């Protein structure tokens, strides 16, 4: 029977079900044991599975990650939690130099089936080191899967898939969505890694986003329809690596316009990568240049200024308005553009 389920509850259930079904799964990190995590994602797991399966670690992120690497080599499937996104930076050398490279380094003889969970991004009135959008560092590192679910159903399903994966997964959990709810019956299975979801069907412009900005995109789309008669299609990437070019390109070719929405800083970020991929694959279907809405290119501000930093509905609508609405795409070379996608 379905019931109202928060994003946080969905994650807790995914961990609980994985611990129940696979004795090689271990959960550990900063305050995940008796406290149940700062955001209570691991609430009750130590009580129900014991300190051997869910336990606290020292506040030493590089050590936590190195310990997880060793456990993978001994046949375990560790799920580690960094308390906040930017707390993971001391472990970055372990992630880039060893976690991401081990399969390639050993010619496939040794894999690291581990999940690195990061409560990430802003929107909760936090400060720097607590609200970073760090996906750009991880998507740029070959050897990692990078996931950022936006719904409770995806939070459950994608975390189960991440834990079952034989390759390392960076699992980015938007803190601002921990208390979002949906009618849900668990367990549930949504689309697998590498498949984006069309959250709202539209015909005039494609709004491409992921993670914490999906709710903003949907609100902006409803306002655009009501006040401007723009029919906005919203595509939720769900997994950043692997990237679903097929769904994104199909949507943009249909609408002829694209806006990329990401909470991270705009310069050289995930949004820039998405915009480049859309331009390369859909150029001859575009009626206007691909535009971006992002966080500002500055360190994360204090809570009182957070609202000026984060992309909001007004900035999304202003960007959609800057698209060239009186122009039509030149489809003369559409066939050539299609060939380029498969090159």
pLDDT in the model for residue 317: 97
Asked if residue 243 and residue 99 are part of one domain, the reply reads no
| Contact status, residue 234 vs residue 100, Cβ threshold 8 Å | no
Asked if residue 30 and residue 157 are part of one domain, the reply reads yes
Mean of per-residue pLDDT scores for the chain: 94
pLDDT of 279-310, one tens digit each? 999 999 999 999 999 999 999 999 999 999 99
Identify the band that residue 340 occupies on the pLDDT scale cut at 50, 70 and 90. Answer: very low
How many domains is the chain partitioned into structurally? 2
pLDDT of 307-321, one tens digit each? 999 999 999 999 999
Domain, as residue range, for 167: 5-182
pLDDT in the model for residue 6: 98
Distance of CA 232 to the CA centre of its chain: 21
Note if 130 is an active site residue.
Answer: yes
In a domain? residue 331 = no
| Contact status, residue 120 vs residue 295, Cβ threshold 8 Å | no
pLDDT in the model for residue 1: 85
Residue 69: asked if its preceding bond is cis (omega within 30°), the reply is no
Asked if residue 227 and residue 201 are part of one domain, the reply reads yes
pLDDT at residue 216 greater than cutoff 70: yes
pLDDT in the model for residue 127: 84
pLDDT at residue 332 greater than cutoff 80: no
Asked if residue 157 and residue 291 are part of one domain, the reply reads no
pLDDT at residue 81 greater than cutoff 80: yes
pLDDT at residue 339 greater than cutoff 60: no
Report the CATH number at residue 122: 3.40.50.970
Q: What is the pTM of this model?
A: 0.94
In a domain? residue 330 = no
For 40-99, what is the HEC assignment?
Answer: CCCCCHHHHHCCCCEEECCCCHHHHHHHHHHHHHCCCEEEEECCCHHHHHHHHHHHHHHH
Report the CATH number at residue 268: 3.40.50.920
Q: Is 63 exposed, middle or buried (0-12, 13-18, 19+ CB in 10 A)?
A: middle
Residues 6+ apart with CB under 8 A from 144: 95, 99, 100, 138, 167, 168, 169, 170, 241
pLDDT of 17-36, one tens digit each? 999 999 999 999 999 999 99
124-135 residues labelled b (16+ CB within 10 A) or e (exposed): bebeeebbbbbb
Q: Compute the C-alpha angle 230/232/237, nearest 5°.
A: 165
Pairwise CA distance, residues 272 & 290, whole Å: 10
pLDDT in the model for residue 211: 97
pLDDT in the model for residue 342: 39
């Amino acid at each position: 029977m379905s019931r109202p389920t928060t994003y946080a509850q969905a994650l807790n259930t995914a961990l609980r079900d994985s611990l129940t079904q696979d004795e090689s799964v271990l959960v550990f990190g900063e305050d995940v044991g008796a406290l149940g995590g700062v955001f209570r994602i691991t609430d009750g797991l130590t009580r129900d599975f014991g300190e051997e399966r869910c336990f606290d670690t020292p506040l030493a992120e590089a050590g936590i990650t190195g310990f997880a690497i060793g456990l993978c080599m001994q046949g375990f499937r560790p799920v580690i939690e960094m308390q906040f996104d930017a707390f993971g930076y001391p472990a970055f050398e372990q992630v880039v130099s060893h976690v991401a490279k081990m399969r390639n380094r050993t010619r496939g003889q040794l894999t690291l089936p581990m999940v690195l969970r990061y409560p990430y991004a802003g929107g909760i009135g936090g400060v720097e080191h607590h609200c970073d959008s760090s996906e750009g560092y991880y998507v740029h590192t070959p050897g990692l899967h990078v996931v950022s679910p936006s719904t409770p159903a995806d939070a459950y399903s994608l975390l189960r898939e991440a834990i079952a994966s034989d390759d390392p997964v960076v699992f980015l959990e938007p803190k601002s969505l921990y208390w979002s709810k949906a009618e849900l019956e668990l367990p549930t299975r949504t689309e697998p890694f590498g498949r984006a979801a069309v959250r709202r069907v539209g015909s005039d412009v494609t709004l491409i986003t992921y993670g914490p900005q999906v709710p903003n995109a949907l609100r902006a789309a409803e306002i655009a329809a009501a006040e401007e008669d723009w029919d906005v299609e919203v595509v939720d990437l769900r997994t950043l690596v692997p990237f679903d070019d097929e769904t994104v390109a199909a949507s943009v070719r249909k609408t002829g316009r694209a806006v990329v929405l990401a909470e991270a800083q705009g310069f050289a970020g995930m949004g820039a990568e998405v915009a480049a991929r859309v331009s390369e694959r859909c150029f001859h279907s575009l009626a206007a240049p691909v535009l971006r809405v992002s966080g500002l290119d500055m360190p994360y501000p204090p809570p009182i200024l957070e609202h000026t930093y984060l992309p909001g509905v007004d900035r999304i609508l202003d960007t959609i308005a800057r698209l060239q609405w009186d122009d039509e795409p030149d489809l003369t070379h559409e066939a050539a553009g299609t060939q380029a996608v498969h090159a």
